[in-house]
Every structure is written in structure tokens, then in C-alpha cells.
Structure 1
Amino acid sequence: MATVELRFSALPEHVRTARLVAAAVARRAGVDEAVLDEVRLAVGEACTRAVGLHQSGGIAAPVQVTLIEEEKQFSIEVGDEAPGSVPGGASGTASDAEVEEDEMGLAVISGLVDDVEVIAGEHGGLIRMSWPTTPPAVALS
């Protein structure tokens, strides 16, 4: 099992880098080429959500992205450190607009990824997304 970890300051300009890294690692892991745009978009939404939660909560900790390559699947985990970052609940002080934006982002992710899980707790949240992989073809001589 190969794992790549990425941590970045909660700034919107770093989301693009996370998307590019995720797509490159997904390609190497064997995610179907036709699905790579969905990987990029889903990672972008999850990272944008985490950045927003950190910024609105005044959290200085970095956003965490873990890319996990397993035998038959590729997973991405995007973690934030916003307490109680549950869907629609943000951090208890979120405005209606922030809650609506958060719910919209999660809806987009759910529409892009068949296997998605959202976990939230008092120390932060995690969005786990998985895609099937295809083993590389073996050339016969």
C-alpha cells in the first residue's frame, strides 16, 4: 500500500496544487483515465470546504490530504481541524450562506464519487473518497 501525504496552509491558492497532485497519483495508481476529471473536481471541492472551515473558524493548522493506493482501489482523505464540521452544522457559528455552501459542496462530491464517507468529530472532520483501480496490463512477449 503506497501513501502520499500532503499538508497545506488553509489558503484557496493551494487547492489547485492538491487537485494536480491527486490526479497525478490517481493516474499512477490505475484509476481509469475517464474518471480523473471527477477525481480532480471532488478533491477540489473537499479541499475548498476544508479551507473555508479553517478560515471561518480562525484555525491555523494545515489542511491534510492523504492519497492511498491499495491493490484494487485508490482513496483520498481530506481532513480539517474544524470542531464539529458536520454537514450543515459547520462550527456552530456559521451563517446560513456558509451552511448552504457547505451542503452544496458535499452534494457535488456525492454526485462525483460513488464511494464517499463524511466523518466529523470534536477535533475536525474527514472526507474519504474511493475509486476502483485497474491493474496495469502485462505485456506478453
Structure 2
Amino acid sequence: MATVELRFSALPEHVRTARLVAAAVARRAGVDEAVLDEVRLAVGEACSRAVGLHQSVGISAPVKVMLIEEEKQFSIEVGDEAPHATPGASNASSAPAEVEAEEDEMGLAVISGLVDDVQVSAGEHGGSIKMTWPATPPAVVLP
């Protein structure tokens, strides 16, 4: 199992770099060429979401992206350190918070539409989105 870890400042201009790195590692892992655009779009959406969450609450910690290459699958996990509301928590509702929640739900819907295997976790210390695609490692050619 090979893993690449990428950390970047929570700035929108770094999302493009994360997309490019994810596509390159996915290609090397054996993800089908026809799916690479979906990988790029899903990673861009997940990273943009994490950047937005960090900026909205003033977190200076970097966004973390794990690119995990396994025998027959390739996974990308995008993590943030923003506190997420836990079910049952009673927070006073405000219009900006409702707009952010709608944008967050829309981003998750886009990701779910692009990726068949998505796991979302969130808590008071941050959250993550793990996306997985099938992969066929390239054949090794011996001399």
C-alpha cells in the first residue's frame, strides 16, 4: 500500500494543485483514464469545501489530502479541522450559517454524484471525505 500525503494552506489557489496531484497519483495507481476527470472534479470539490470551512472559522491549519493506493482500489481522503455541528446540538440559527450549510450540502451532493463510494465523517474536531475508485495496477514488464 502506497500513500501520498499532501498538506496545503487553506487558500483557494492551492486547490488546483491538489487536483493535479490527485489525477497524477490516480493514473499511476491504475484508475481508468475515463474516470480521471471525475477524480479531479471530486477532489476539487472536497478541497474547496475544506478550504471554505477553514476560512469561515479562521483556522490556519493546513488542509490534509491522503492519496492511498491499494491493490485493487485507489482512495483519496480530504480532511479539515473545522468544528462541525453534531446531531442534537442546539445552536442559534443565523442566515449566513444556513447559506453555508446549503453550500456544504450542495458540495457533498456533487461529490456523491461523481463518486460511487464516498464516506463522510464530521465532528467537533474536524471532518473528512473519503472517496474510493476501482484501480487496476499497471502490468510489470520484466526484461
**What is the RMSD of the two structures over their aligned residues, measured on CA atoms?**
2.3
Residue-by-residue CA offset, 1:25-71 (whole Å, 9 max, x unaligned):
00000000000000000000000000000000110100000000000
Which residue does the alignment assign to 1:110?
Answer: 112
Q: What is the correspondence of 1:102-141 to structure 2 with a 5 Å cutoff?
A: 102-137=104-139
Do residues 27 (structure 1) and 27 (structure 2) align? Answer: yes
Gaps of 5+ in 1: none
Do residues 98 (structure 1) and 100 (structure 2) align? Answer: yes
Report the residue type matching 2:3 in the other structure. T
Do residues 61 (structure 1) and 71 (structure 2) align? Answer: no
Report the residue type matching 1:23 in the other structure. A
Whether the 8 Å CA contact 1:67–1:76 is kept in 2: the answer is yes
Residue-by-residue CA offset, 1:81-114 (whole Å, 9 max, x unaligned):
001267xx9x987522211111100000000000
Tell me, what secondary structure is at the counterpart of 1:135? coil
Specify whether residues 9 and 109 from structure 1 end up closer, same or farther in structure 2 by C-alpha distance, changes over 3 A only. same
The Cα of 1:134 is off from its aligned counterpart by 1.1
| TM-score when normalising by structure 1 | 0.91
Aligned mates of 2:85, 2:135 — CA distance in 1: 30
Q: What is the correspondence of 1:35-74 to structure 2 with a 5 Å cutoff?
A: 35-74=35-74
| TM-score when normalising by structure 2 | 0.90
Q: Which has the larger radius of gyration?
A: 2
4+ long deviations beyond 3 Å: 91-94, 137-141
Once the two structures are aligned, what percentage of the paired residues are identical?
82
Tell me, what secondary structure is at the counterpart of 1:95? helix
